[in-house]
Structure 1
Amino acid sequence: MTALAATACGGSGSTSAGSSGGGKDLHVYAWAGEIPDSVIKGFEKETGIKVTVDTFDSNETMSAKLNSGSSGYDLVEPSQYTVQQLIGQQLIEPLDHTKIEGLDNLAAKFRDPSYDKGNKYSVPWIWGTTGFAYNDKCIKSATSWKTLFDGQYKGKLYMLDNMLAAYIAGLQVSGHRATSTDKAEIAEATSALQKQKKILAGYNSTNYPQLLSTGQACAAEAWSGTAMAKVVQSNEHVHYVIPEEGGSIWTDGFAIPKGAKNLTSAYEFINYTLRPEVAALATDDGSSASTNQAAREHIKDKKALENPAIYASDSAIEKADFLLDPGPAMQYFQQGWTKVKAS
């Protein structure tokens, strides 16, 4: 599958560090829909900095852009395992914590995450989970990944069209951790996914919430967040659950790419989004869970705090894994995924 408090530096003379002149620009590369317009407009109004936001639909797309060496972005929004990869590839800068105010507003689990100890390279913005959703007109009740592997729902099941997301289900339904890098366990998960493919309607990372809402899908692997949350809120028959096997937690956060020109603007934006009242907009206007613990008292939509497709309960995520970069084991996933797609 990601928030950030205190006082921004303000709009007085934001100069582009790393460039020769005064900079009043900020170029952001982010997940589509994850930074509400209200956040961008509020920041522009307060600071006078013009923000340009380009969006991507996968971590791979974003990484490829940075690898090209001329992205032109001052901030990017990678997911947690991609932060690890970008650090290893030296594509993002270590953060200067003397220029950041408000990290203590983050929830404890996001202040020193396993994928970026001490938030050295990234500041989490939003978080969520990977689980599944079902329509109770088709499936009375469901709590396990086994639902998505059940032949009685053949042709009305969907999986996310994302390799690592699919393997969360494949590994956990096989009795393993989603963070496994064991070759034999990944092979077992590959076999489970190959068998499952025969009963799937398809792989879908875009409109599966709508397919669930209309009943075209009985169940689908799903990411929590905006699209799923809106369907759960508007359709009483659609339910989002964290599977009893564990599911996973994801987070998307802000990082500064190597070669960023408008560094001062980048830090101003990070500080702005770390304010509790601003971070609350991620939920009120973006239907996403904020990593900012202090933001909760500023959230106006109290129903969002009870919507499992936005804020999963502590008990629901007790066994959830923080999906990390599998490192050298990535080849086993890639080889297995090729087999799954070809089966």
Structure 2
Amino acid sequence: MSRITVSRTLRAASVLTVTAVVATACGGSGSTTAASSGGGKDLHVYAWAGEIPDSVIKGFEKETGIKVTVDTFDSNETMSAKLNSGASGYDLVEPSQYTVQQLIGQKLIEPLDHSKIKGLDNLADKFRDPSYDKGNKYSVPWIWGTTGFAYNDTCIKSATSWKTLFDGKYKGKLYMLDNMLAAYIAGLQVSGHRATSTDKDEIAQATSALQKQKKILAGYNSTNYPQLLSSGQACAAEAWSGTAMAKVVQSNKNVHYVIPEEGGSIWTDGLAIPKGAKNITSAYAFINYLLRPEVAAKATDDGASASTNQAARAHIKDKKALENPAIYASDEAIANADFLLDPGPAMQYFQQGWTKVKAS
């Protein structure tokens, strides 16, 4: 595969420009100080579409007087290409975990000054020192989710394993995500390996499993698979947690989202400061604002996403979201889940294998 696209919540490629609400910065405990140096009172953000709710942007503008402009992307690769062009003009970007690794290696994002950040201790333990960015040196996780699968119990009574998606009895009623590394999560784990494997032989075993599986699939689908599950057209499908899947799980009692017993994976999207950012003070002010529990709760209430902020859970109004596994997977469910990391030189093995899978 030539790219690693992670459009988990069916996010459209759109551009949102938020009009400034100029106001005097609020005082008192927990308020965000308006930018006074490092680029004035502007902030340019490049983020996944729909992941930073309008309510968050407007609240920040009202409190600080900082004008926020948000451009959105639909893949990490689009965002990385913009940064590689050398003239992005952004003060904050929102890469996924493996892209943080890539941007660090390419020296396209700045190390964070933790003396300017307040609230990192609000993050859940698994996001405070993640494997892809030890010590949160370059990024602050904002939202998170999982890769697992969903099934319709009118077709499949119960399912807990990736083996369900490789079972010939459901031929023509199974779907896999049309995404190379997402497919290899299942291929590797059903073969007894970790999703983070970079071993050539293990990847070859996963390739063989995916080639055999393709014969029983209805197709690869990264767009409307939640609706196919809801209608019963699909018995089971590999799935990303998030808005679209969560809505179907909530509205259709027959559809269930599960993290497979083999592990599945965890993804996260976080904030980083790109090289050449001009409005540094505004960037840190925004990071601090998002780390406040009552603000982070809006990622769930207004964005239907799981917040990385453990302290935010007490402020979430939609309590059903906390019980929806397609938003918040339980700690037990993700105990064996891996953060999907940048495979580095092993990418060639995945690309070569995926070409074979698609051609089989």
**Alpha-carbon distance, 1:330 to partner:** 1.2
Alpha carbons of structure 1 residues 35 and 145: separation in structure 2 relative to 1, 3 Å: same
Give the superposition deviation at 1:3.
23
* CA distance in 2: counterparts of 1:218 and 1:170, whole angstroms: 19
Shift of 1:21: 8.7
SS at match of 1:308: coil
Identity score, percent: 92
Q: Is the 8 A contact 2:38 2:278 kept in 1?
A: no
Query: How far did residue 130 of structure 1 move?
Result: 0.6
Q: CA separation of 1:295/1:18 partners in 2, compared to 1, >3 Å: closer, same or farther? A: closer
3-state SS in 2 of match to 1:253:
strand
1:320 Cα deviation from its structure 2 partner: 0.9
Name which of structure 1's ranges 50-59 and 141-150 shifts more when overlaid on structure 2. 50-59
Q: 1:148 to 1:223 in 2, by over 3 A?
A: same
Q: Given the superposition, is the C-alpha separation of residues 191 and 2 from structure 1 closer, same or farther in structure 2, using an over 3 Å criterion?
A: farther
Distance of aligned partners of 1:188 and 1:7 in 2 relative to their CA distance in 1, 3 Å threshold: farther
**2:167 matched to which residue of 1?**
150
* Residues 284-320 of structure 1 deviation map (CA, whole Å, 9 limit, x = unaligned): 1111111111111111111111111111111111111
Judged with a 3 Å threshold, the aligned counterparts in structure 2 of structure 1 residues 120 and 147 are, in CA distance, closer, same or farther, namely: same
Please give the root-mean-square deviation of Cα atoms over the aligned residues, in Å.
4.2
Q: Secondary structure at the match of 1:52?
A: strand
Distance of 2:217 and 2:320 partners within structure 1:
33
Q: Which moved more, 1:253-262 or 1:25-34?
A: 25-34
* Separation in 2, partners of 1:272, 1:80: 21
Deviation, 1:23, is 2.8
Which moves more between the two structures, 272-281 or 139-148?
Answer: 139-148
Cα separation, partners in 2 of 1:166 and 1:273, compared to 1, 3 Å: same
Contact 1:11/1:46 (8 A) holds in 2: no
Q: In structure 2, do the counterparts of structure 1 residues 13 and 79 end up closer, same or farther at CA, with 3 Å as the change threshold?
A: closer
2: distance between equivalents of 1:2 and 1:46? 14
CA displacement, residues 249-275 of structure 1 (integer Å, 9 cap, x when unaligned): 111100111111221111111010000
Counterparts in 2 of 1:126 and 1:21: CA distance versus 1, 3 Å: closer
Kindly state the Cα deviation for residue 42 of structure 1 after the two structures are TM-superposed: 1.0
Q: Give the SS at the match of 1:53.
A: strand
**Cα deviation, residue 82, structure 1:** 0.9
Change (3 A) 1:8 1:21: closer
The DSSP-based 3-state class of the residue aligned with 2:141 is strand
Distance of 1:112 and 1:331 partners within structure 2: 29
Aligned length: 343
Structure 1: 5+ residue runs without aligned partners?
none
Question: CA deviation digits over 1:194-215, x for unaligned, max 9?
Answer: 1112222222222211221122
Q: What is the TM-score when the length of structure 1 is the normalising length?
A: 0.92
Q: Residue 266 of structure 2 aligns to a residue in which SS?
A: strand
Contact 2:21 2:62 in 1 (8 A): no
Deviation at 1:117, TM superposition (A): 0.8
Cα deviation code 1:210-239 (max 9, x no counterpart): 221122221111111111111111111110
Deviations 1:12-61 (A, max 9, x none): 99999999995322221111221111111111111122222222222122
Change (3 A) 1:10 1:98: farther
- After superposing the two structures, state which structure 1 stretch, 219-228 or 169-178, moved more: 219-228
The 8 Å contact of residues 161 and 262 in structure 2, kept in 1 or not, is answered as yes
Q: Is the 8 A contact 2:173 2:236 kept in 1?
A: yes
Give the superposition deviation at 1:152.
Answer: 2.1
Aligned to 2:249: 232
The alpha-carbon distance between structure 1 residues 17 and 259, as it changes in their structure 2 partners (threshold 3 A), is: farther
Question: Cα distance, 1:155 vs. partner?
Answer: 2.1
- For the 8 Å contact 2:32–2:64, the answer to whether it is kept is no
- Cα distance in 1 for partners of 2:19, 2:103 equals 15
Tell me what 2:223 maps to.
206
